[in-house]
Amino acid sequence: MKPMDPVPYAVPFFMALIVIEMYWARARRPEAYEPRDTLSSLAMGLGSTVAGALTGGAMVTLAFWLYQYRIATLGWAWWTWAACFVIDDFGYYWAHRGGHRIRWMWASHVNHHSSQHYNLSTALRQTWTGVVALNFMFRLPIVLLGFHPLMLFACGGVNLIYQFWIHTEAVKRLPAPFEWLFNTPSHHRVHHATNPRYLDRNYAGVFMLWDRMFGSFEPEVDEEQIHYGIVKQLGTFDLLWTSFHEWIGIARDVWAAPWGSKFGYVWRAPGWSHDGSRDTSDMIRARWQERQG
Amino acid sequence: MTGLLIQLSTSLAAILAAFWLARHLQLGGDLRIRGEAEARALADNAICGFEAIDLAIDRAGIGALLRDAEGRVLLLRRHGAHFASRLLDSHAGIRLDRNFLTLATNDRHFGEVTLDLGPQAQVWAASLRHLSGHGDQA
């Protein structure tokens, strides 16, 4: 059985909105886009589609295998859809948090953050190695509760579509109740920022509730200019390097590390080193806070 | 399979069209370092707490070299519509040609950059000879 994936139907709208945002950039902020960066981001998106096509079958098979061991059968009622969407978003939050706090998972997710720009094309800058990073471990087990695998995949697709439009600087703030409940351009700008104040914050997919509940919420401060990208900016538009640099970094670090520390370069936070010679986001934030007095 | 190939071909065409449009609209601008304050701010953004005590900016503003009190030397260079940086830890790959200083890091994807530092080029070239490490860049 093939899952209903809503994402391909949304792609024409994605491209149309990117064109509109480009004209906005020309009028307001020409530096909001950079042609090679856009090419790189969109090519990453295309590569991600290919990777998804190659691995999707295995994910569907795994989901249906797990579904055999469900504790209930919840069916297709409207409330089941709503519950599935919320629970899947909860799973997304933890997968995303893991994607920033565990280097093995970061090696995949870093691709999405490696642009120094923040525009709608950045939203399509997706990883090619999500399956290798085991992101699915946080979401597929939801079928054990009794949600049908096809429902889960459809909800995941809608979640991904929702997150497209929040990758923009063209929208400043939305009405307060919306900002409180949902992920918005403002909240997600914080997530993509390298400012010490903002590092590893706002992991939410759709509902901001999870960040508020689990202590990872940080509001955008209007007075502080945001710098986007990653702590060590790539400095290249090379597509293959962009896709695989962190995996190569892990391999090099594991090779060079003393035996007792090798595994730390895989499961500890990005930036961790056995000799303390590098910075994690927590160390950078602590240094920044110290400077603030 | 045919459907997937059509989808991929269409997507590729759309990507190239978006790239063309971004160029056509001249997006990205022409970014330059406009002074010492901006260079210092860029360095602090690159490495939180990096306070330059000495710096030299390329005459066209496409890059800069900064040194802090700990002796760390940071190379800033333009990358698209932004700047990227690396700490220099080796004098290997540094070449002086009159006012032009060419710097390469051990990150080959970062590439090398040639800065027009005017008379300061020779002073910086001499001081960079003290760099001797061969480890990873920050």
Which pLDDT tens digit goes with each residue over A146-197?
Answer: 999 999 999 999 999 999 999 999 999 999 999 999 999 999 999 999 999 9
Where do the structural domains in chain B lie, given as residue ranges? 1-29, 36-128
Q: CA A253, CA A91: separation in Å to the nearest integer? A: 30
On the question of pLDDT at B128 being above 50, the answer is: yes
Residue B134: its pLDDT value, please?
Answer: 46
Residue B113: its pLDDT value, please?
Answer: 94
A30:B15 CB<8 A: no
In chain B, what percentage of residues exceed pLDDT 90?
Answer: 77
Section A38-52 average pLDDT? 96
Length of chain B: 138
Residue B138: its pLDDT value, please?
Answer: 38
Identify the CA nearest to B57 among candidates B42, B39, B44, B84. Answer: B39
On the question of pLDDT at A291 being above 80, the answer is: yes
- Degrees to nearest 5, angle at CA A180 with A29 and A32: 10
Shortest Cα distance from B10 to chain A (angstroms)?
10
Q: Is residue A272 within 8 Å of residue A261, measured between CB atoms?
A: no
* pLDDT band at residue A8 under the 50/70/90 scheme: confident
Q: How far is CA A141 from CA A2, A275, B70, in A?
A: 19, 37, 50
Domain presence at residue A206: yes
Section B103-108 average pLDDT? 89
Q: CA B121, CA B11: separation in Å to the nearest integer? A: 47
Domain presence at residue A262: no
ipTM: 0.92
* Pairing status of strand B52-57 against strand B112-116: unpaired
Shortest Cα distance from A37 to chain B (angstroms)?
8
On the question of pLDDT at B136 being above 60, the answer is: no
Is the model more confident about A256 or about B130? A256
B72: its two tokens: 């760390």
B25: its two tokens: 């609209």
State the residue range of the domain holding A219.
7-239
Average pLDDT taken over every residue of chain B: 91
Query: Among B15, B31, B46, whose Cβ lies nearest the Cβ of A31?
Result: B31
Domain presence at residue A193: yes
* pLDDT band at residue A33 under the 50/70/90 scheme: very high
B80:A34 CB<8 A: yes
Helices (H) and strands (E) in chain A, counts: 12, 0
Query: Among A11, A37, A241, whose Cβ lies nearest the Cβ of B80?
Result: A37
Taking the Cβ of residue B109 and every Cβ of chain A, the question of whether any pair is shorter than 8 Å is answered with yes
* pLDDT band at residue A3 under the 50/70/90 scheme: low
Residue B135: its pLDDT value, please?
Answer: 42
- Chain segment B35-76, per-residue pLDDT in tens: 999 999 999 999 999 999 999 999 999 999 999 999 999 999
B93 contacts: CB under 8 Å, gap ≥ 6? B102, B103, B104, B105, B106, B112
Domain presence at residue A293: no
Give one DSSP letter per residue of A27-96, joined into a string.
Answer: HH-GGG--HHHHHHHHHHHHHHHHHHHHHHHHHHHHHHHHHTT-S---TT-HHHHHHHHHHHHHHHHHHH
* pLDDT band at residue B133 under the 50/70/90 scheme: low
Q: CA A123, CA A126: separation in Å to the nearest integer? A: 7
* pLDDT band at residue A18 under the 50/70/90 scheme: very high
- DSSP-derived letter for residue B135 is S
B15:A42 CB<8 A: yes
On the question of pLDDT at A257 being above 50, the answer is: yes
On the question of pLDDT at B15 being above 90, the answer is: yes
3-class secondary structure per residue, A152-218: HHHHHHHHHHHCCCCCCCCCCCCCHHHHHHECCHHHHHHHHECCHHHCCCCCCCCECHHHHHCCCCC
Of all residues in chain B, the one with the smallest CA distance to A121 is B18
Average pLDDT taken over every residue of chain A: 96
Is the model more confident about A254 or about A53? A254
Count how many domains chain A has.
1
Domain presence at residue A276: no
Region of A235 please: left (phi>0), alpha (psi -120 to 50) or beta.
Answer: left
| Residues forming a β-bridge with A203 | none
Residue B92: its pLDDT value, please?
Answer: 84
Domain presence at residue A288: no
Residue A89: its pLDDT value, please?
Answer: 98
**What letter represents residue B119's amino acid?**
P
On the question of pLDDT at A106 being above 60, the answer is: yes
Residue B1: its pLDDT value, please?
Answer: 75
Section A55-80 average pLDDT? 96
A236:B22 CB<8 A: no
